[in-house]
Amino acid sequence: MNRFTIIFVLACFVVAATAVIAQQIGGDDALGTRSYDDYERPITCRQCHVDIYEQWTQSMMSQAYVHHWDEIEYFELAIPHAEIDEKVADVRAGCNGCHAPVSFLAGDVPPPRPEEGSRANEAVSCDFCHTVIARTGDPSFNYNYVSSPGRVKYGNREGVESPHHETKYLEFMRTAQFCGTCHNEKSPYDIWVKSTQLEWAEGPYAEEQVPCQVCHMPRAPGKNANIAEKPHSDIAQHLFHGAHDPGKVRGSIEMRMHPNDREAEPGMQIVITAQLFNGKCGHKVPSGSSEERQLWLHLVAVDADGREYHLPVDQKGFEGEEHTITSNELAYQDMGPMMGDAGFAGLPRDALPEGDRIFCLPYFDPQGRRTIAQWNTASQGVDYRIGPRETKIETYTWTVPDEVAIGIVTVRAELYYRRLVKSVADFLKVPEDETEIIVVNDAVTWFEVFD
Ligand code: HEC
Ligand code: HEC
Ligand code: HEC
Ligand code: HEC
Ligand code: HEC
């Protein structure tokens, strides 16, 4: 070999090595490394994958860019904030890493508004997910997936054939780590502001090898393409149902309740105990966007004359507990400067009756005030959400009032869920459906009042 051949061989080596490394780009480094033309449109996949396509269009992942509340938060809060605060400047692009991944990879940030009908509207699309091949680090978070678009679509079966594309089995697609690339998020202040996959990893379902797909992409017999030769017994349904599916939320926490005594007199103390069991979720409840989700327990005693008494929860005395009991003190002041109103006084924190237990993880801005801007989160309070297979016990000590009617007192408990704090939704003009109240569960018990 002469010198030139050696140099040529070395040069080829360097080019090949760079190409391999280039394929392994993820997270912020991947911004602008692809073009829209590298990815096929979901409508193309529909030709043969009709059922899967129709399922996906009903899921939030197909709407992650066009959904009204996402649009409002991104364009009215995050982008203006990125312009005035250097610390959060990267969210201008970064929100899209999860909500409009192809736009992020194409460097089209901010993408055009949803009404302009651009390809950003495809959101988390078929071809995006089916050409992810790996992640760039451990744990999964902040869009650290590796995207490798092309003719090969990665899936969960060996040896299936399609006239439109090649297919390849990929173990990674079947793991929770795949979902975690977007379902775990760290703020610019290095705080975990979304940790669904991390919560799962610490819980019983990881140990039992029950990944996200088992509950959010359940299996059923059928064909996965209308031109497929053979049916399969276990087609992955693309439901991705979660907080926006009341049927998924209802019953996700089970509840029972009892009094410490079945007989009471006016002036006596009765203690009601409620048990709340998370038997159905692979992660905490609420999970994901915990900065804005609300899960609260409301107890009412009704006497024999139908008079109602709201029972506030007993305090347990742990640090930071005030954030786990509903309150309407002013919060969310950080939205003011983002919207050009430096003197903004804030909004009622929970916009709910006070004194109820609220299962939450409070997010604080750099000034220590509650925030719904997860990217502006510099610290968090006590985590009082309900973990997978965890049971929380709440007690209600009630001094039976003198004017109570003699006879049976019925105590009703209702566990409610709301996706977005109502005061925030009204202030930002988020359409009503986002603040729909879902009854997760209820329970009833009784005791009798004698003279
Ligand atoms: C969020 C990522 C994601 C999106 C978006 C997505 N898929 Fe999938 N898809 C998966 C995963 C994960 C599996 C495998 C699930 C498993 O095995 O646990 C899968 C499986 C499949 C399968 C094989 C099903 C089977 O069991 O044989 C087909 C076909 C498919 N997807 C097509 C599509 C099409 C078409 C779209 C768009 C309409 C789409 N996917 C959107 C993640 C996604
Ligand atoms: C012309 C029809 C056609 C089109 C268009 C098409 N596919 Fe397929 N696809 C198939 C067939 C057929 C199979 C194999 C089905 C089987 O045998 O189970 C398949 C299989 C797959 C698999 C592998 C499933 C597994 O079980 O591992 C994935 C993933 C997939 N397609 C994704 C896509 C995506 C994403 C698009 C759009 C970019 C797309 N397909 C467009 C026909 C098509
Ligand atoms: C490219 C990023 C990305 C990946 C990968 C991803 N997701 Fe998502 N997912 C999102 C975004 C963004 C939303 C929020 C959509 C919205 O409400 O705007 C979402 C929403 C959801 C929801 C609906 C929550 C609700 O409020 O109803 C479920 C369930 C879900 N994803 C499950 C999964 C599962 C399971 C996987 C892995 C198979 C996965 N996701 C992979 C980005 C992703
Ligand atoms: C054992 C079943 C199970 C497993 C495993 C599971 N989930 Fe869920 N998930 C649920 C149920 C039930 C709900 C609805 C109740 C709720 O909102 O928490 C839900 C809700 C969600 C939501 C909406 C949360 C919110 O409050 O906005 C997201 C997002 C989600 N799941 C993603 C995932 C991801 C990602 C994984 C894997 C890391 C996963 N899930 C694993 C059962 C499961
Ligand atoms: C690491 C991925 C990731 C990043 C980065 C990210 N999001 Fe999300 N976002 C998600 C996921 C996943 C969900 C759904 C979680 C759940 O269901 O609770 C979500 C939910 C939301 C929701 C609630 C949607 C609803 O319908 O309730 C809004 C609004 C939102 N994101 C806006 C933003 C904005 C604005 C940014 C940038 C400042 C951003 N997101 C950055 C992954 C991400």
Q: Which of 173, 238, 239 is the best mutation target for the ligand 1 pocket, counting ligand atoms within 8 Å of the beta carbon and taking the most?
A: 238
Instruction: Inform me whether the pLDDT recorded for 267 exceeds 80.
Output: yes
Nearest to 125 by CA among 178, 176, 58, 56: 56
Q: What is the mean pLDDT of residues 39-48?
A: 98
Nearest to 193 by CA among 334, 377, 424: 377
Q: Which of 37, 46, 49 is the best mutation target for the ligand 2 pocket, counting ligand atoms within 8 Å of the beta carbon and taking the most?
A: 49
Q: Residue 176 CA: which ligand is closest?
A: 4
Q: What is the mean pLDDT of residues 278-290?
A: 98
**Residue-wise pLDDT tens digits, 191-208:** 999 999 999 999 999 999
**Residue-wise pLDDT tens digits, 384-417:** 999 999 999 999 999 999 999 999 999 999 999 9
Confidence bin at 23 (pLDDT 50/70/90): low
DSSP H or E stretch at residue 150: none
Instruction: Inform me whether the pLDDT recorded for 92 exceeds 90.
Output: yes
Instruction: Inform me whether the pLDDT recorded for 14 exceeds 80.
Output: no
* Alpha carbon of 417 to ligand 1 centroid (Å): 29
Predicted pLDDT of residue 19: 47
437-449 and 263-264 beta bridge pairing: parallel
**Residue-wise pLDDT tens digits, 96-147:** 999 999 999 999 999 999 999 999 999 999 999 999 999 999 999 999 999 9
Write the residue with the smallest CA distance to atom 37 of ligand 4.
212
Ligand 5 proximal residues by C-beta, below 6 Å: 67, 69-70, 73-74, 78, 91, 94-95, 97-99, 142-143, 182-183, 185, 242-243, 288-289, 375, 419
* Alpha carbon of 198 to ligand 4 centroid (Å): 12
E-state strands within 182-261: 184-186, 192-195, 219-222, 232-236, 253-259
Predicted pLDDT of residue 188: 98
Ligand 2 proximal residues by C-beta, below 6 Å: 40, 44-45, 47-49, 126-127, 130, 153, 155-157, 160-165, 167, 224-225, 227-229
User: To the nearest whole percent, how much of the chain has pLDDT over 90?
Assistant: 94
Atom of ligand 1 nearest to the CA of 214: 18
- Which residues, 6+ apart, have CB-to-CB distance to 125 below 8 Å? 39, 41, 42, 62, 101, 102
With a 6 A CB cut-off, is 214 part of the ligand 4 pocket? yes
Confidence bin at 244 (pLDDT 50/70/90): very high
Answer yes or no: are the C-beta atoms of 196 and 222 closer than 8 Å.
Answer: no
* Alpha carbon of 91 to ligand 1 centroid (Å): 28
* Alpha carbon of 224 to ligand 2 centroid (Å): 8
**Residue-wise pLDDT tens digits, 139-176:** 999 999 999 999 999 999 999 999 999 999 999 999 99
Predicted pLDDT of residue 11: 55
Confidence bin at 255 (pLDDT 50/70/90): very high
Q: What is the mean pLDDT of residues 248-273?
A: 98
From residue 320, how far is each of 282, 293, 393 by CA, in Å?
26, 18, 18
Write the residue with the smallest CA distance to atom 33 of ligand 4.
212
Predicted pLDDT of residue 24: 87
User: Where exactly are the structural domains of the chain?
Assistant: 3-236, 246-449
Could you write out the three-class secondary structure of 357-425? Answer: EECCCCEECCCCCECCCHHHCCEECCCCCECCCCEEEEEEEEECCCCCCCEEEEEEEEEEEECCCHHHH
Please provide the size of the chain in residues.
451
Answer yes or no: are the C-beta atoms of 120 and 111 closer than 8 Å.
Answer: yes
Confidence bin at 348 (pLDDT 50/70/90): very high
Ligand 1 proximal residues by C-beta, below 6 Å: 42, 45, 49, 52-53, 56, 61, 124-126, 129-130, 155-157, 173-174, 213, 217, 224, 232, 235-236, 238
Write the residue with the smallest CA distance to atom 22 of ligand 5.
70
* Alpha carbon of 72 to ligand 4 centroid (Å): 24
CATH class of the domain at 246-449 = mainly beta
Give dist(CA 24, CA 6) in Å, integer. Answer: 27
Measured torsion, CA atoms of residues 380, 384, 390, 396, in degrees rounded to the nearest 10: 170
Q: Which of 62, 73, 87, 338 is the best mutation target for the ligand 5 pocket, counting ligand atoms within 8 Å of the beta carbon and taking the most?
A: 73
The Cα diameter of the chain in Å comes to: 109
Give dist(CA 118, CA 98) in Å, integer. Answer: 17
**Average model confidence (pLDDT) for the chain?**
95
With a 6 A CB cut-off, is 124 part of the ligand 3 pocket? yes
* Alpha carbon of 407 to ligand 3 centroid (Å): 51
User: To the nearest whole percent, how much of the chain has pLDDT over 70?
Assistant: 95
Answer yes or no: are the C-beta atoms of 272 and 445 closer than 8 Å.
Answer: yes
Q: What is the mean pLDDT of residues 18-34?
A: 80
Confidence bin at 1 (pLDDT 50/70/90): low
Confidence bin at 10 (pLDDT 50/70/90): low
3-state secondary structure of 164: coil
Q: Which of 135, 196, 202 is the best mutation target for the ligand 4 pocket, counting ligand atoms within 8 Å of the beta carbon and taking the most?
A: 196
**86: DSSP letter:** G
Predicted pLDDT of residue 305: 98
Higher pLDDT, 19 or 328: 328
Atom of ligand 2 nearest to the CA of 153: 29
Nearest to 387 by CA among 412, 367, 359: 359
